[in-house]
Amino acid sequence: MSQVINSTNFQFPGQTGKYDGKVRDVYYLDNDLLVMVVSDRISAFDVILPKGIPFKGQVLSQVATKFMKATEDIVPNWLIATPDPNVMVGKKCTPYMVEMVIRGYVTGHAWREYRDGKRMISGVPMPEGLREHDRFPAPIITPATKAEAGDHDEDISREEIISRGIVAEVEYEQLEKYTRALYQRGTELAAEKGLILVDTKYEFGKDSDGNIVLIDEIHTPDSSRYFYAEGYEERQAAGEEQKQLSKEFVRQWLIANGFQGLEGQSMPEIPADFVESVTDRYIELFEKITGDSFERAESGDVLKRVEDNVNNFLANYQG
């Protein structure tokens, strides 16, 4: 009996294929439906940790669902239903092979590039005189290629995306408009909760009618970085670290235990109390980001629960 979702191997009616991502298992059905099971796997340094985190998948699925609904007036999205706390069902789309990354602050990857003397990221200039976590004069879009399994995403410029025919120019311009509007909405929603949406990424695809739609996830703690707004200016003025709301604490625990995904390093044994603390942190993230109380889903045999809920949905789906 499984209490966490580490892996899945369902056979749903009309299933035509399956894709296993780092966190999400995607099932393709023959009626243009896609069933996304959000697992409890967690990755850091491009390595999936050996133990799943109870309720992590539920957190990611429900955050993404909330913000899909909160932005559907800006751009249509792929989501049709959530028949289970860990499942999102939606329209099968053809994805654009770029991730639309937008950054309001010089943090993370942007800061590492800046610190190393670079003043251009994805073909976008960055001004002189910035310190880590400073706000950009205006948000910048720094697209990245969508990596194949096992590879890393790579920065790519707008010009290269268009010249290589990855996305047609007129469609890319629309992706940029959607990205800026979504980030603005996300910034406003975060501010209502006392948070700063530092940076995030969006993925888009085309549905069977040729419409551009938002796919995958949105504004989750795995795809976005948040700071606490209270004290941000004071911490910047004092040169102190910002108080973050992200899974950075998992990376820091691994570093403290001698693991950064480098050759020759072994994954440390992960104690049960640390797993429990990660669950608690993700629930804290959920409640802070959404403003809702988290209700833990029934966690007896989670795989059977997911399978039953999806099969019941499919049996009654009218399309």
The whole-number pLDDT of residue 151 equals: 52
Question: For position 58, what pLDDT does the model report?
Answer: 97
Query: What's domain 15-94+272-316's superfamily in CATH?
Result: Phosphorylase Kinase; domain 1 (3.30.200.20)
The residues spanned by each domain of the chain are: 15-94+272-316, 95-245
pTM of the full structure? 0.92
Q: Which CATH superfamily is domain 95-245 in?
A: ATP-grasp fold, B domain (3.30.470.20)
Which 3-state string (H, E, C) describes 88-152? Answer: EEEECCEECCEEEEEEEECCCHHHHHHHCCCCEECCEECCCCCCCCCEEEEEEECCEECCCCCCC
pLDDT at res. 150: 47
In the chain, which residues have pLDDT < 50?
Answer: 1, 149-150
